[in-house]
Amino acid sequence: MKFGDGVEASIHCAALLAGLDDDATIPGSALAHRFGLSPSYLQKHLKALTSAGILESVPGAAGGYRLARAPECISLLDIVLAIEGRKPAFRCCEIRRRGPERLPASAYAKRCAINTAMLRAEQAWRAALGAERLSEIVAEFQHNADPRSVAASNAFLGRHRRPQKPAAAG
Amino acid sequence: MKFGDGVEASIHCAALLAGLDDDATIPGSALAHRFGLSPSYLQKHLKALTSAGILESVPGAAGGYRLARAPECISLLDIVLAIEGRKPAFRCCEIRRRGPERLPASAYAKRCAINTAMLRAEQAWRAALGAERLSEIVAEFQHNADPRSVAASNAFLGRHRRPQKPAAAG
């Protein structure tokens, strides 16, 4: 069992966009370029994040993507569910009632104990993902990552933000 | 993201085998029949459970499968890892260092904060799965499932156990 690659790309994009100030945006093509991804591949995930209310898409020549809400209000669970869908990883196929010796449907009215236990464990996972805030991930990156990485991220935002800030008077 | 169907089948088979007494076994073909599965499909998963030390395969005419250890010592995590493999669901592809603007490798020596957070949440899931014991799932089934289901499971074991118990005199 494994997450699709879209989860990693989506979290990285959201973390990068958390560094924008004001109402600035970054074009999707610049985000794709940053991570060496095909723009059409990334576009699909940026759209899913937008539909889920995590990103905001601003149209027009000065448009692009920005976070739709504060990074304190975005969890890894929000992003995972936006990209992977809301269904549980364990999807009971009711095999207990397959086979030639199955009983009448009324014998299976109660939820299977296996399904219950699997979903209970998955709930613990969701709670843990829900406790991981984008703001904390960005703060950890800012404080603990190699300073060259932090500087490169800031430079990327400065180069690609829309609208561009006017150059400082020299 | 979703588990393969093999997880559900494997937990059901292990739960059924937990009802065997003595050193009895059940043939894989009977387990497949019980759940309406193809024997070759189920065989693959029974072999994985055997390799992982969860089941024991007894060869020969009176052979079949039984639990390799007490159901108190088998967790849902044991079964999930046996079937799905031990790799985490989140597999960091290091996209932070892709793209034309990547820095020298030394800038990425520390683990990415995103990978760390995803694995931390996954650890909570594994801990929760590890706390779900096969013995408790079987006990819940015995106490709470429809009595017809419990009777059908017991009858199945009686019919397919090897060696067969001698018929009661009567």
How does pLDDT run across B10-63, given as a tens digit for each residue?
999 999 999 999 889 999 999 999 999 999 999 999 999 999 999 999 998 889
**pLDDT attached to residue B32:** 97
Mean pLDDT (chain A) is 94
With bands split at pLDDT 50, 70 and 90, how would you rate the model's confidence at B168? low
Q: Do B113 and A3 touch (CB under 8 A)?
A: no
- The values of phi and psi at residue B96, to 5°, are -60, -25
Residue A74: pLDDT over 80: yes
Residue B118: pLDDT over 60: yes
Chain A residues near residue B128 by CB distance under 8 angstroms = 120-125
Residue A139: pLDDT over 70: yes
**pLDDT attached to residue A126:** 97
Residue B128: pLDDT over 80: yes
Most B CBs within 10 Å, among A96, A102, A136, A143, to test the B interface: A96
| Residues, chain B | 170
Chain A residues near residue B11 by CB distance under 8 angstroms = 114, 118
Distance CA A37, CA A33 (A): 6
Q: Do A92 and B8 touch (CB under 8 A)?
A: yes
Place of tokens 């010796």: A101
Distance CA B140, CA A90 (A): 19
Most A CBs within 10 Å, among B5, B120, B125, to test the A interface: B125
User: Is B1 or B86 the better-scoring residue by pLDDT?
Assistant: B86
CB contacts < 8 A (A, B):
190
Q: Pick from A15, A10, A7, A12: which is nearest to A138 by CA?
A: A15
Residue A170: pLDDT over 70: no
**Residues A85-114, mean pLDDT to the nearest whole number:** 92
- Residue ranges per domain, chain A? 5-160
**pLDDT attached to residue A169:** 61
Distance CA B29, CA B32 (A): 5
**Residues B75-81, mean pLDDT to the nearest whole number:** 98
Distance CA A15, CA B10 (A): 39
- Who among B7, B91, B122 is closest to A125 (CB)? B122
With bands split at pLDDT 50, 70 and 90, how would you rate the model's confidence at A168? low
Residue B170: pLDDT over 80: no
How does pLDDT run across A39-73, given as a tens digit for each residue?
999 999 999 999 999 999 999 888 999 999 999 99
Chain B residues near residue A140 by CB distance under 8 angstroms = 113, 116
**Residues A74-84, mean pLDDT to the nearest whole number:** 97
Q: Which class does domain A5-160 fall in?
A: mainly alpha
Q: Is B88 exposed, middle or buried (0-12, 13-18, 19+ CB in 10 A)?
A: middle
Distance CA A157, CA A64 (A): 12
- Token representation of residue A73: 């209000």
Please, what is the Cα angle at B34 between B29 and B40, to 5 degrees?
A: 35
**Residues A90-113, mean pLDDT to the nearest whole number:** 92
With bands split at pLDDT 50, 70 and 90, how would you rate the model's confidence at B73? very high
Q: Do A124 and B127 touch (CB under 8 A)?
A: yes
- The values of phi and psi at residue B131, to 5°, are -85, -10
Residue B112: pLDDT over 80: yes
Question: What's the N-to-C CA distance of chain A in angstroms?
Answer: 55
Q: Do A141 and B9 touch (CB under 8 A)?
A: no
Q: Do A132 and B121 touch (CB under 8 A)?
A: yes
Angle between helices A76-84 and A39-51 (to 10 degrees): 110
CA A87 to chain centroid, in Å, comes to 16
| Structure ipTM | 0.93
Exposure string over A20-58, b if 16+ CB within 10 A, otherwise e: beeebbbbbebbbbbbebeeeebeebbebbeebebbbbe
